[in-house]
């Protein structure tokens, strides 16, 4: 497992003589490209290093200083030569002392560190291999110790499968053509068709739209298949589900789950004000818009959300989603009109959303989007769409940032769920029955 992951290595040590046999072993016997740096080398390094999958790191880079000082020195080196875009890697830490290892991990895994955090840190005893006179078996020892870290083992396997899957995806596309001449002539055209097909965007609408991001998304299905084919399961990962309890405070769980929900449900990157697409979510800037929610109609009363005691102090903004069915969009049936559902984004409040006195209990409200993380908002958010705020407006109005400002886009599964529930709500027929 681990030997397929390690395609390159970095050795950081104050004594080259102690690690030259390790470097020779990795390069000559394991075909792992290896680079050595001393502390002096790191002090002279003025650019960030390219990714290395494993770092062999001497804890005591300066023997005259304490463990605490050496850890601080290592963090300073990592800040300058690793940085935030280093990619996934692990660390083998040369140390025999458990307390030193724990101190190192406590500092190296700090979330505030200005460098990419390692997948794992494994302590090994360098003197054992020096006495042995050989580094034979060191990767086997690393793999054995990683067996207890199933989460890291999963990401190692996942990383390997993604790399192999991406290579296979490229080969699949290249192999569509039986000659290099045909590939050079037609591959760009095929990629263009794939990109347009992903969202069904008409070619006339692509001028102000980043098709390359849709091309990347269109290849995900092929990539996913290849990843699943190549992935080697970690059998112990979910072997004891009864022990997999996330025992943290409700507040911390809400923060973590809000970030995961945003990752799964929303696209915050591929946004273009001038490209009106199904799933686009806009902030309603114009408070005179018919979609701008000022009141909530509940079974009991009408609530002014800017004046009501429960609502007025909650941070909120009015939003809407473009909900035109993708088939109408792809087949140019929109006729420059967009179907829109209005809604509201607010600080997440479980009682307000689900409590006994919640005004959102009627079936015209879509209330499944919570908690979510939205940039610019300190607290986790919730989004509620009101199917009574279902309107058709001119597409050009959505392009006017002074009226509607694009802020995010619903991903495919979320968009499909909102569209399905809207369809169910608007298609209710009802029946008139006489009861005695």
User: pLDDT tens digits for 399-431?
Assistant: 999 999 999 999 989 999 999 999 988 876 666
Q: What is the pLDDT of residues 25-62, one digit of tens each?
A: 999 999 999 999 999 999 998 889 999 999 999 999 99
Fold of 2-148: Rossmann fold (3.40.50)
> Could you tell me the sign of the dihedral formed by the alpha carbons of 306, 308, 309, 310, in that order?
negative
Mean pLDDT, residues 69-79 taken together: 96
Q: What is the pLDDT of residues 179-238, one digit of tens each?
A: 999 999 999 999 988 888 876 776 766 776 778 888 888 888 788 888 888 888 888 888
- Whole-number mean pLDDT of the chain? 89
> Does the predicted model carry a pTM greater than 0.85?
no
Judge whether residue 178 has pLDDT over 60: yes
Domain ranges of the chain: 2-148, 157-243, 250-426
Mean pLDDT, residues 307-326 taken together: 90
Rounded CA-CA distance 199/172 in Å is 22
pLDDT of residue 329: 65
Judge whether residue 331 has pLDDT over 60: no
């Amino acid at each position: 497992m681990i030997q397929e992951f390690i395609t390159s290595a970095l050795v950081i040590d104050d004594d080259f003589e102690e690690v030259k046999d390790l470097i020779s072993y990795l390069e000559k016997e394991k075909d792992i490209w290896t680079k050595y740096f001393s502390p002096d080398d790191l002090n002279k390094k003025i650019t960030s290093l390219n990714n290395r999958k494993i770092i062999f790191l001497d804890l005591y880079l300066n023997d005259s200083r304490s463990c605490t000082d050496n850890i601080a020195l290592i963090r300073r080196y990592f800040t300058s030569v690793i940085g935030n875009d280093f990619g996934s890697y692990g660390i083998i830490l040369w140390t025999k002392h458990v307390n030193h290892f724990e101190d190192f991990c406590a500092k190296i895994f700090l979330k505030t560190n200005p460098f990419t955090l390692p997948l794992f840190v494994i302590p090994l005893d360098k003197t054992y291999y020096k006495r042995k006179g050989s580094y034979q078996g060191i990767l086997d020892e690393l793999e054995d110790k990683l067996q207890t870290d199933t989460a890291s083992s999963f990401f190692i396997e996942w990383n390997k499968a993604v790399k192999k899957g991406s290579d296979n995806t490229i080969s699949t596309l290249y192999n569509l053509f039986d000659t290099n001449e045909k590939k050079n002539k037609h591959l760009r055209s095929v990629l263009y068709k794939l990109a347009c097909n992903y969202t069904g965007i008409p070619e006339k609408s692509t001028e102000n739209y980043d098709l390359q991001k849709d091309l990347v998304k269109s290849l995900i299905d092929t990539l996913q298949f290849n990843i699943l084919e190549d992935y080697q399961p970690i059998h112990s990962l979910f072997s004891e589900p009864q022990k997999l309890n996330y025992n943290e405070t409700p507040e911390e769980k809400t923060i973590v789950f809000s970030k995961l929900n945003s990752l799964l449900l929303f696209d915050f990157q591929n946004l273009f004000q001038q490209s009106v697409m199904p799933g686009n979510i806009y902030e309603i800037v114009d408070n005179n818009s018919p979609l701008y929610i000022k009141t909530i109609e509940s079974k009991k009363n009408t609530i002014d959300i800017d004046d009501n005691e429960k609502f007025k102090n909650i941070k909120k903004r009015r939003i809407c989603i473009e909900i035109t069915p993708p088939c109408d969009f792809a087949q140019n049936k929109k006729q420059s009109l967009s179907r829109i559902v209005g809604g509201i984004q607010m600080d997440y409040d479980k009682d307000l959303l689900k409590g006994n006195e919640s005004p959102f209990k009627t079936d015209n409200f879509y209330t499944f989007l919570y908690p979510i993380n939205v940039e610019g908002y300190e607290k986790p958010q919730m989004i509620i769409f009101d199917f009574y705020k279902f309107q058709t407006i001119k597409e050009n109005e959505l392009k006017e940032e002074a009226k509607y400002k694009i802020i995010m886009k619903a991903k495919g599964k979320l968009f499909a769920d909102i569209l399905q529930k809207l369809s169910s709500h608007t298609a209710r027929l009802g029946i008139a029955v006489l009861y005695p």
